Amino acid sequence: MSATKDYYDILGVERQATEDQIKKAFRRKARETHPDVAAGPDAEERFKEINEAYEVLSDSSKRANYDRFGTADPSTSGYGGAETGDFFGGFEDIFSVFMGGMGGGGAQRVRTEGRDMTAQVAVTLLEAAKGVEKVIDLTRDAPCPTCHASGAAPGGTSKPCPDCNGTGQRRTQRRTILGVMESSTPCQRCGATGTIVDPPCPECGGSGRSRQREKVTVSIPAGIADGMRVRVPDMGEAGLRGAPAGDLLVEVSVLVHEYLHREGDDLHAMMPLDIVQASLGTTLNVPGLFGDEEVCVNAGVQNGDTVRVKGKGMPRLRGGAGDLIVHLNVQVPRKLNKRQRELLGELAETFGSKTGTCTPLHKIKDWLTG
């Protein structure tokens, strides 16, 4: 370590700086001068100086010697005489600079395959039951039409990157307070792909893909439910320079029907009938999804009873179909003509039922005693 260097000036701190201020200054300077991000031929040398300055000023014994004699004599301190906490404290600082957001840790391979994309489409309940094809507008990174996804201009070639020898990673060595550290970083020249194109396509800049607007036909299968997804292979983001593309995942929204309600693969409908039909039984024409369904109602049904019609619900994705469930709503007439009242009165006598309209006196009595 040189005795002529001003370590305080190198870190940009005052001589009275606290230990915390020195640590913060070191981290800031290390990020600014790291060879992976700093330009200039002297970037590595400046980074070494910062490590050297921090090695001295972060150690209380070395800093005291430096302040007193202008040098930090290794024989007065160092790793052999340092406390365990100081040693691992220095390691933590270096680790936070190299690994904490600087990208200087383990080797990382760039993703060449295209990513999946998502889209939405709405269908009616009938379309969901029958199956339908929908056309959607999609903007995506598609294979470049100019270079046919190669990334190279006409007459251009693709070859291994000379900076990383086709690996996509550059191995670098740095001298730190812990000695020489070796790390792998993504190669900036080839974008960590391991290959370069010369010259690159003017349309896509060498990536082999460009932003395009397309119309995509999506086949919606019969029986699909709300919220399900349909996968369209290879219609997601295009891969880098001809690598496999991602898929398009289309989420289906099934619109609400005007009178049918879906629960799973079953369809539910509400049908009114009068007291005579409920008492004697009847046949109802129930509007179904594919047309009217003739539903037999047994005599004596009650309000809220249901009739199940097998196989007249939603088609299932793997074959078969759900049921149509008819909910019966027995309606009592609010007004009767004279003949209807007479007939119901005769019927009431056969049942022994007490009938009659409440008079205003009855209503007052009910109110007073209620």
Which two structure tokens, joined as six digits, stand for 170? 């550059």
What is the predicted pLDDT for the residue at 368? 67
Tokens (6 digits) for 127: 């379309």
Q: Say if CB 263 and CB 257 are below 8 A apart.
A: no
DSSP assignment string, 302-314: -TT-EEEETT-SP
Q: Could you give the CA distance from residue 174 to residue 52 in angstroms, rounded to a whole number?
A: 12
What integer pLDDT is reported at residue 147 of this predicted model? 92
| Span 150-169, pLDDT tens digits | 989 888 888 888 888 888 88
Domain with CATH 2.60.260.20 in the chain: 261-331
Pairing of strands 132-143, 169-176: unpaired
pLDDT 10s digits, 66-84: 777 676 654 443 333 333 3
Q: What is the DSSP string of 244-291?
A: PP--EEEEEEEPPPSS-EEETTEEEEEEEEEHHHHHH-EEEEEEETTE
| Spatial contact of 153 and 207, defined as CB atoms under 8 Å apart | no
Q: Which band of pLDDT confidence, cut at 50, 70 and 90, is reported for residue 96?
A: very low
* Per-residue pLDDT at 92 exceeds 50: no
Residues of the chain with CATH 2.10.230.10: 117-254
Burial 38-77 (b: 16+ CB within 10 A, else e): eeeeebbebbebbbbbbbbbbbebbbebbeeeebbeeeeb
Chain segment 222-235, per-residue pLDDT in tens:
999 999 999 999 99
Give the pLDDT band (50/70/90) at residue 4.
low
Residue 248 · residue 232 · CB < 8 Å: yes
* 220 three-state secondary structure: strand
Distance of CA 314 to the CA centre of its chain: 30
Is 324 a residue whose pLDDT tops 80? yes
Q: Which residue has the higher pLDDT, 363 or 211?
A: 211
- In the structure encoding, which two tokens stand for residue 62, read together? 């070395």
Third-level CATH fold of 261-331: HSP40/DNAj peptide-binding domain (2.60.260)
Please say whether the beta carbons of 230 and 218 come within 8 A: yes
* Span 33-55, average pLDDT: 73
Residues with Cβ within 8 Å of 327's Cβ and at least 6 positions away in sequence, in order, are: 268, 269, 270, 271, 304, 305, 306
Four-way CATH pick for 7-99: 1.10.287.110, 2.40.10.10, 3.30.530.20, 3.40.50.1000: 1.10.287.110
Nearest C-alpha neighbor of 232 from the set 122, 127, 135, 319: 135
Instruction: Quote the distance between the C-alpha of residue 136 and its chain's center.
Output: 20
pLDDT digits (tens, 9 = 90+) for 235-269: 999 998 889 999 999 999 999 999 999 999 999 99
pLDDT at residue 325 tops 50:
yes
Candidates 2.10.230.10, 2.60.120.560, 3.40.50.2300, 3.40.50.11890; CATH matching 117-254 = 2.10.230.10
| Cβ-proximal residues to 239 (8 Å cutoff; 6+ apart), any chain | 112, 113, 114, 149, 208, 209, 245, 246
Residue type at 327 in one-letter notation: H
The residue to which tokens 């509007």 are assigned: 287
Are residues 93 and 54 in contact, defined by beta-carbon separation less than 8 angstroms? yes
> What is the H or E stretch that residue 118 is in?
strand 117-123
- Partners of 121 in beta bridges: 252
**How confident is the model at residue 102, as a pLDDT?**
42
Positions of CATH 1.10.287.110 in the chain:
7-99
